[in-house]
A = this chain, B = another copy of it.
Amino acid sequence: METELAELEAQLPAGCLITKPETMEAYRRDRANDPHPGMPLAVVRATSTADVQATVRFAAAHGIPVVPRGAGSSLSGGSTAVDGGIVLSVDRMREITIDPVTRTAFVQPGALNAEVKAAAAEHGCWYPPDPASFEFCSIGGNVATNAGGLCCVKYGVTTDYVLGMTVVLADGRAVTLGGPRLKDVAGLSLTKLFVGSEGTLGIITEVCLRLIPAQRLRTTLVATFPTLDDSTNTVLEITKTMRPSMCEFMDRVTINAVEDDVHMGLDRDAEAMLIIQSDEPAEHAGREIADIERICRDNHAGEVFSTDDPDEGEQFIAARRHAIPAVEKTGTILLEDVGVPVPLLGRLVDGIAEIAGQRDVTIAVMAHAGDGNTHPLVVFDPTDAAQEERAHTAYGEIMDLAMGLGGTITGEHGVGRLKQPWLGAYLGDDVYELNHRIKAALDPQGILNPGVVFNREQAAAAPSAAHDPSASAAAS
């Protein structure tokens, strides 16, 4: 393969192709920390759409898997390397062009979410989606996973801001879908199909994002609760009539992990804490926050604190964003991303507490409560094999619990490699087969991010009769 790789190298700018094992090491794992990542054949650090095309054409010609990679911050193993594949990193493709008149941004996929926000802000514009990892996750990854975040409860998820993109298909062709038009229904909604496709249908090399006018100042309210039910009832009552711009939840384990780490004076005895923001105009925000405070108190809140000082508010948000790293310091974690219809949030959270008790493991729960999207973190000591096994059991049980409540196995992180084994059960045979049909139509060789979303063997074979469940399901 060395001769062939030399051919590819000749088509790329100097230094873009990496085959040195020590240098490739940094590109094997993502933030899901797979203990057994693949050993790639090569890493390509693309600088342009043309570089991506050359790489994909090479891979297609030789039947080599391609794992696209943005900032490597996937929490579900979406950019873990596979043996003998090419890791196609876009971390050098970071150009951002803001058009403040059209209120759009053209962004290369390696640009960080925070960089897009900052560039937009320079022009009085705002790019809302804000994963907790916004300071170190890439826009390409955000679009590939349809990432969520904290402000989704009012402002929606990534797909709501993607107007168009340039994408390199599995045969190396580059196509441009959509563009800076707020409404466009000419042809199938292919832009929306590629959003959230986790690099399995094509490789995004530029996105056109919708921006909106700058967010107003936020008022932040923090409240603690003596029971989980009190906190989830509060969430339901608030979202029934109001549209807070943030509605986050942390349970007692999470509160304590954060407090251990940053010493903010959080109430360690509270069973739950909510962090809620309003970005309504000043006069109205005051009234809205007063209403929210009343609802919190009606639901037995202990402390309730609110502030319209942006820095003071930001401290609490920072505590919430810090929750995953803080819990990670207490042990090895298995990170969930289950979501349920908002009214069932209480049953989900209670059920997780039960699983923690039954399996005798620690589970920290934080949530984008207003969306019903939770991140239970199952914590275990990797030197205790029995505990590790119980943790893995609990991890599966939490997904089963969410599905039983009409919920999803992943609300915003993506299926990746970690949740792939659960996807078939979640979708059911017919819908899973429909996913495979689209995959087979767009990536017939199955070279794009194999093992992500689609089972590696099924993806390669679909939609052949051997793996096509439609025959048995046709009677449904």
Contacts and interface: CB of A to CB of B under 8 A. Distances in A.
Interface in A178-222: 179-190, 192-193, 195-197, 200-201, 212-213
* Chain B CB within 10 A, most for which of A184, A408, A412: A184
A182 B342 contact: yes
A131 B3 CA distance: 60
A185 B196 contact: yes
Contacts of A169: 434
Contact of A411 (B175, B183, B371, B441): B183
Contacts of A157: 183
B453 A189 contact: no
A243 B197 contact: no
A188 B196 contact: yes
A341 B180 contact: yes
A414 B437 CA distance: 25
Given A434-B190, A474-B172, A476-B174, A341 B181 contact: yes
Nearest to A214: B241
A343 B197 contact: no
A101 B415 CA distance: 28
A431 B187 contact: yes
- Please give the count of copies of this chain that the complex contains: 2
A102 B174 contact: no
Interface in A358-401: 368, 371-373
B342 A185 contact: no
A267 B453 CA distance: 59
A434 to B, nearest CB: 6
B100 A240 contact: yes
Contacts of A439: 188
A243 B187 contact: no
Given A240-B100, A427-B187, A453-B188, A371 B197 contact: no
Given A242-B213, A281-B281, A281-B284, A426 B185 contact: no
A239 B284 CA distance: 22
Nearest to A189: B196
A156 to B, nearest CB: 7
A340 B180 CA distance: 8
A213 B183 contact: no
Interface stretch (A19-27, A145-153, A315-323): A145-153
A470 interface: yes
A136 interface: no
A292 B21 CA distance: 61
A209 to B, nearest CB: 14
Contacts of A427: 186-187
A332 to B, nearest CB: 25
B181 A415 contact: no
Contacts of A406: 179-181
A183 B438 contact: no
Contacts of A181: 339-341, 372, 406-408, 411
A173 interface: yes
Contacts of A186: 408-410, 415, 419, 423, 426-427
Contacts of A182: 152-153, 339, 342, 371-373
A199 to B, nearest CB: 12
Contacts of A331: none
Contacts of A175: 428, 430-431, 434
A456 interface: no
B180 A188 contact: no
A182 to B, nearest CB: 4
A284 B153 CA distance: 22
8 contacts: A159-B189, A175-B428, A181-B406, A183-B372, A186-B423, A186-B426, A187-B427, A283-B284
The 4 lowest CB-CB distance pairs between A and B, nearest first, are A192-B192, A281-B284, A183-B411, A441-B441
Interface of A: 100-104, 124, 145-146, 148, 152-153, 156-157, 159-160, 169, 171-177, 179-190, 192-193, 195-197, 200-201, 212-213, 236, 239-243, 280-281, 283-284, 339-343, 368, 371-373, 406-415, 419, 423, 426-428, 430-432, 434-435, 437-442, 453, 470, 473-474, 476
